[in-house]
Structure 1
Amino acid sequence: MADTGYRNDGNASDENVGHPTIDDYLIKDPESFALNLARMIEQAGKAAAAWAEPREKGLKNGDADEPLTDMVRTLSQFLEFWLSNPARTLEAQTRLFSSFLSIWTNSIRRMAGETVEPVAIPEPKDKRFRDEDWVKNPFFDFLKQAYLIAGKWADDLIEKTDGLDDHTKRKAAFYVRQFVHAASPANFVFTNPELFKETVAASGMNLVNGMRMLTEDIIAGNGDLRLRQADYRHFRLGETVATTPGKVVARNDLVEIIQYAPATEEVFKRPLLICPPWINKFYILDLTPEKSFIRWLVAQGHTVFVISWVNPDARHAKKGWEAYIEEGILFALDTIEKRTGERKINAIGYCVGGTLLCAALALIVKRGDERVKTATLLTTQVDFEHAGDLKIFVDEEQVRALEAAMAKDGYLDGTKMLGVFNMLRSSDLIWPYVVNNYIRGKEPVPFDLLYWNADATRMSAANHSFYLRNCYLENRLSRGEMVLGGQEISLRDVGVPVYSLAARDDHIAPAPSVFAGSRCFGGDVTYVLAGSGHIAGVVNPPDRRKYQYWTGGKPEGAYGDWLNDSQEHAGSWWPHWQEWIETQSRKKADARHFQPGDPDLIDDAPGAYVRMRI
């Protein structure tokens, strides 16, 4: 084994270390390389034209500039602190330059044959620097360490900035993190040894293919980049995803209600209603047959009904939470009662669908409507005091700007929310695909979850505005101050048993936030913590034997104390939930099969509304 000059940097395995080979970086066919560079430039011009055309025609306005305006406004406050005091600025610069000097000195000592300790080491989970030349080659090693040092230095600056309120500091940290991710040397051909070697080996053809894909993605986004994260051609609704047999049994202007065919001779007497988020489409719970939560529920003997929200347009501009409750949840409850004759129903709400479900329960209990007997909340927040990273985008100025933009069309374009969700995890959902698609020139692989993620939905103006103001900005639901139907509603009035599932690594509905919200209800709450994040923590079939979940006492006191006292269980939380729901009612009935000639059978699942694209 050749010596790298480092004792152990934790990033390169023993079998990969050795002296760098210059031959990998030499262009073998200059003529082909030059020709492909010309083709790349031609394709880049087409990409630029695709971006400019809708703007020249007036089809794009300045609404998209608001996030940039907020970023400039936020970072200006951050910079003002450091630039207003020359001594403080000099001290910060000295720290950075001192670290750079240490890296430079180490590089010289390495080339002289000494063994030195690296100044900066990537995190073990950081996949960007796995090529052996990030260690073996002094040039790329210097770039890597300088980048890591600069990123940590920027984080430290944010932490040490006084005079910023918590929200502004959190925004500043987020925007700085976006710059840091974007500036990674792993994102560029000439600063990434792996990309450089691939480009040389392909004589630059990878860049030609990448620019072609970039053009296609800008055209697909009507002048904005619509980053492809998977090969979507492998997925078709009703054929490869969302395949659980069922029928659309009711429809109005806002929802379709899907009833799924039974898979057992007997079913639980209580039907089960699922209220998914309207921000995404319901079939995250009915992906491939192997991952389908809905198919699993049917196999356990549940009669499952699901709300499939319409993809709203200008016609739905004024439909707010009251409409989504009346025409969505209550319409579904009426449909279930009509179809099954049952007035006792179990309900599941996922993410913001769970938030809406809780508000609906608090509202209808005032009317004496007690049809919902249990509520299961999957990664659902009702207390937004310590909400997730989405709170970065919610303050009075940003909400007012968003409301003004929505007023023009009556809705928020789905690509805007898709972009926000991708930014929250840009190191996972943006830059790896930028590198793979537009530099490597490779098509992304088929991935059902990312196919669903890209199938974005619009948000009606009234609905989205009510949600942002009443939940994120003013936290009215948890305080008993939300007004629906002319009445103040309180979650204390919701006395049914609640099963509240959080996910340990959830960045949208953080586990401590879900834990805090569990104390808002008037009845018994079973709090369960799943491993992984907002999606994988929920969509975790038992057969996959992945992750784990924790159970413990009542959600009282501090979240950390509950977690310390909890018990860890291997695998999926699904069977645990099934045991819980059976303790509420084990009564069975004959399977509810569809009858020929039934006038309520409108369409086959997954229905028409889920197929509506932005």
Structure 2
Amino acid sequence: MREVLRSRGFSKLPHPSGSSRVDPSAPEAERGEQGLMCGLPAYIHGFPPSSEGAGRSILTRLAYDAHRLRSRAGMLWGWICETVLSRRLSLFLSCTHTFARSCPMKNTQAGGRAGPAPRRPQGADSRPAALNSLSTHLDESGGFELFRAIDRIAASMAANATGGISPTAIWLAYSDWLVHLYRSPGKQAELGNKAWKKLGRLARYTIRRALTEKTPNCIEPLSGDTRFRAEAWQELPFVLWYQVFLLTQQWWHTATHDVPGVSPHHENVVSFSMRQVLDVFSPSNCIFTNPEVLDRALQTGGRSFVEGFQRFIDDLSRNLNSEPPAGAEKFRVGEDVAVTPGKVVYRNHLIELIQYTPSTGSVYAEPLLIVPAWIMKFYILDLSPENSLIRYLVGKGFTVFCISWRNVTAADRNLGLDDYRRLGVMAALGAIGLIVPKCKVHAVGYCLGGTLLSIAAAAMAHMEDKRLASVTLLAAQTDFSEPGELELFIDHSQVESLEGLMWQRGYLPAFHMAGAFQLLRSNDLIWSRMLRHYLMGEPPPMNALIAWNADATRLPYRMHSEYLRSLFLNGDLAAGRYVVDEHPVAIQNIRAPIFALGTERDHIAPWPSVYKIHYLNDTDITFVLTSGGHNAGIVSEPGHPGRRYRFAHKKAEDPCLHADRWLERAELREGSWWPAWVEWLEARSSPQRVPPPAMGAPASGLPILADAPGTYVHQR
């Protein structure tokens, strides 16, 4: 704000400490601007730099008015005026047309030159002085930044009222569906026919079930639906209730799909939202229609309800106070989890670089850099010693480095995606080059860290930087055209709403991201939890992975906005339009061999989307599809029961297969994928092992700063 005022000629500003002293020798108007910063409301201080220009000018004028009133009528009256500043901005919305007409317009003179607007005669303007002042501000900036600032204020207010969800996006989806359904008599007849047939099936089943206990159900749950698998659900009347629910769910699935003319995105939004509404009324979520809940209550004499209510109150209190769930305190970072020995050898504003202590007498010459996502803490890859991927790699003879990201605050709102590339991947590579000079690096990216690594690798390829020995992408997308159900939360209207939410705070709160991921698997992560913990009174399980999941992070405003718009909405990276250092980069230019991994039940980065790296690059690509989900599929140590994976290698000259054909031809193997990956890395490393490098490089300005896991990982 101070810089903006100085640019407009107000050079004598108060001290940043907030002193209310004003230079008495200055003219009255300048004294008012000097005192402005003293009476400026906190929410104006928080405006981002992107709302510069006239947006700040109108707020400057309004705050100045409040300051003058304070000085003349006392502290109370000034405080009242400040509290209604937002109302004055709202009044501006109703006066936009008047303001626009009052702005001087450019007048084209002979010869095509723009001349000044004609002036009104003095005294002919009967507008209030505030409108004249506003017209001056509009004239200085063209008004465009002011209008954009008001849009941001309105979007921020609406986003805070709806929790970041765009009502417009939902309204558009339902309007699209309803209008096309109304105009489709054939679809209406189909739905009526199906409803009649389902009623008939239910009536016949009810009669037969009343006569014969072993009557087959008229409908069975989907393979992933475990809500009605208990034997108690096969007893009357519970079996009838869940049969009615499943038939209703099936009918609504038909109603929301294949309506002629509805866009696929709107179809998915309507179908998903209707599924969430139906799940609310599932008989498994009601005390009186769930036999498991009733049996538990009878066995405990009602104590299960008391214990469940106590857990609900405890969870509610912890959520309101931003505290971790009960039991998470048993998994302390650096003591119970993230205990692999190492040192912090480099630190900047955004990252700490951890070098792990070697556990073998000799190591591979090529070090390994891990780039985790910054929507999570890095120690997902270093949980307990039994399932730590980092410890496993160190034990196999690799010199492992890992980035630990800073948990950003509102002060980091302007960190962009390219800042993460420069201060993250490139800074880490530079530090590794000082510790292990003249050696290529095996780079590994997980989730969003893999996307960032692919951008950095493409930029390095464009600059003919050949420091990468290989690139490993774990559950990382490079083409976001089919991101799965996550696409439900990403369209232009929804992104605008999220930007409004982030614009006021400066970041995306951790619980918003966690809530979106939970909705994608609401039966497993929401309703099942409520049933077991609150209705049946069962103690919630707690392990290292659950404790890590509760240790969430924030995303800076600018970075998340660029990520959603450039990668998701516009597809710039896949299309070769993403710009780094004023040059577009292309995944096609990466020539280092690639190891890509997807997981079978990934609801964040579906494996067919991860597989699309084959369509963007024709270097040697090894693709692995492992069992498990986005996290459990990665933390898949050798010896873990029930693990399996599919493995296939494509050379640069081999034809590219579609994902379905790849699935048919890939080799199925039992066990963990970790040993196969280590073999892949060994084949692309120097055959001759070398002594382990020193920890850090003090002579090159990289002293040891702290013990692993560092300090950034403890930020809340």
Give 1:11-410 correspondences, 5 Å limit.
61-64=160-163, 66-67=165-166, 70-82=169-181, 89=188, 92-93=191-192, 95-96=194-195, 98-113=197-212, 116-136=215-235, 138-222=236-320, 231-410=327-506
Query: How far apart in 1 are the matches of 2:186 and 2:664?
Result: 45
Q: Is the 8 A contact 2:408 2:554 kept in 1?
A: yes
What amino acid does structure 2 have at the position aligned with 1:483? V
Query: How far apart in 2 are the matches of 1:584 and 1:560?
Result: 28
Deviation at 1:557, TM superposition (A): 2.7
What amino acid does structure 1 have at the position aligned with 2:314? E
Q: Which residue of 640, 658, 669 corresponds with 1:558?
A: 658
Structure-2 residue corresponding to 1:33: none
Note the alpha carbon deviations across 1:300-344, whole angstroms, 9 max, x for none: 001110011111111211111111011111111111122222441
Q: Rate the CA distance shift 1:119–1:284 in 2: closer, same or farther, 3 A.
A: same
SS in 2 for 1:290: helix
Structure-2 residue corresponding to 1:609: 712
Q: Is the 8 A contact 1:478 1:517 kept in 2?
A: no
Structure-2 residue corresponding to 1:10: none
Note the alpha carbon deviations across 1:86-145, whole angstroms, 9 max, x for none: 885575255335424532443233323475332112245532223322112x21010010
Deviation at 1:527, TM superposition (A): 1.9
Query: How far apart in 2 are the matches of 1:318 and 1:539?
Result: 33
Structure-2 residue corresponding to 1:505: 601
Query: How far apart in 2 are the matches of 1:261 and 1:436?
Result: 43
Query: How far apart in 2 are the matches of 1:329 and 1:114?
Result: 64
Structure-2 residue corresponding to 1:539: 635
When the two chains are superposed, the root-mean-square deviation of aligned CA atoms in Å is 2.6
What amino acid does structure 1 have at the position aligned with 2:674? W
Deviation at 1:449, TM superposition (A): 1.7
Structure-1 residue corresponding to 2:90: none
Query: How far apart in 1 are the matches of 2:274 and 2:213?
Result: 36
Work out the number of aligned pairs and report it.
Answer: 553
Structure-1 residue corresponding to 2:118: none
Q: Which has the higher contact order (CA 8 A, sep 6+)?
A: 1
Query: How far apart in 2 are the matches of 1:610 and 1:380?
Result: 22
Give 1:580-595 correspondences, 5 Å limit.
580-585=680-685, 586-592=687-693, 594=695
Q: Rate the CA distance shift 1:219–1:71 in 2: closer, same or farther, 3 A.
A: farther
**Unaligned stretches of 5+ residues in structure 1:** 1-57
Deviation at 1:612, TM superposition (A): 1.5
Alignment identity in percent?
36
Q: Rate the CA distance shift 1:76–1:489 in 2: closer, same or farther, 3 A.
A: same
Q: Is the 8 A contact 1:542 1:574 kept in 2?
A: yes
Residue 573 of structure 1 pairs with residue 673 of structure 2: yes
Q: Is the 8 A contact 1:214 1:438 kept in 2?
A: yes
What amino acid does structure 2 have at the position aligned with 1:278? W
- Identify the range of structure 1 (303-312 vs 540-549) with the bigger mean alpha-carbon deviation: 540-549
TM-score normalised according to structure 2 size: 0.73
Query: How far apart in 2 are the matches of 1:334 and 1:397?
Result: 40
Structure whose alpha-carbon radius of gyration is higher: 2
Query: How far apart in 2 are the matches of 1:150 and 1:588?
Result: 64
Query: How far apart in 2 are the matches of 1:360 and 1:117?
Result: 57
Give 1:456-535 correspondences, 5 Å limit.
456-521=552-617, 523-535=619-631
Deviation at 1:504, TM superposition (A): 2.6
SS in 1 for 2:625: strand
What amino acid does structure 2 have at the position aligned with 1:126? D
What amino acid does structure 1 have at the position aligned with 2:658? A
Query: How far apart in 1 are the matches of 2:192 and 2:300?
Result: 41
Q: Is the 8 A contact 1:261 1:593 kept in 2?
A: no
Query: How far apart in 2 are the matches of 1:227 and 1:595?
Result: 34
Q: Rate the CA distance shift 1:565–1:130 in 2: closer, same or farther, 3 A.
A: closer
Query: How far apart in 2 are the matches of 1:412 and 1:596?
Result: 36
Q: Rate the CA distance shift 1:522–1:127 in 2: closer, same or farther, 3 A.
A: closer
Q: Is the 8 A contact 2:373 2:450 kept in 1?
A: yes
- Identify the range of structure 1 (310-319 vs 446-455) with the bigger mean alpha-carbon deviation: 446-455
What amino acid does structure 2 have at the position aligned with 1:580? W
Q: Rate the CA distance shift 1:223–1:160 in 2: closer, same or farther, 3 A.
A: farther
What amino acid does structure 1 have at the position aligned with 2:177? F
Q: Is the 8 A contact 1:262 1:593 kept in 2?
A: no
Query: How far apart in 2 are the matches of 1:294 and 1:326?
Result: 24
What amino acid does structure 1 have at the position aligned with 2:195? L
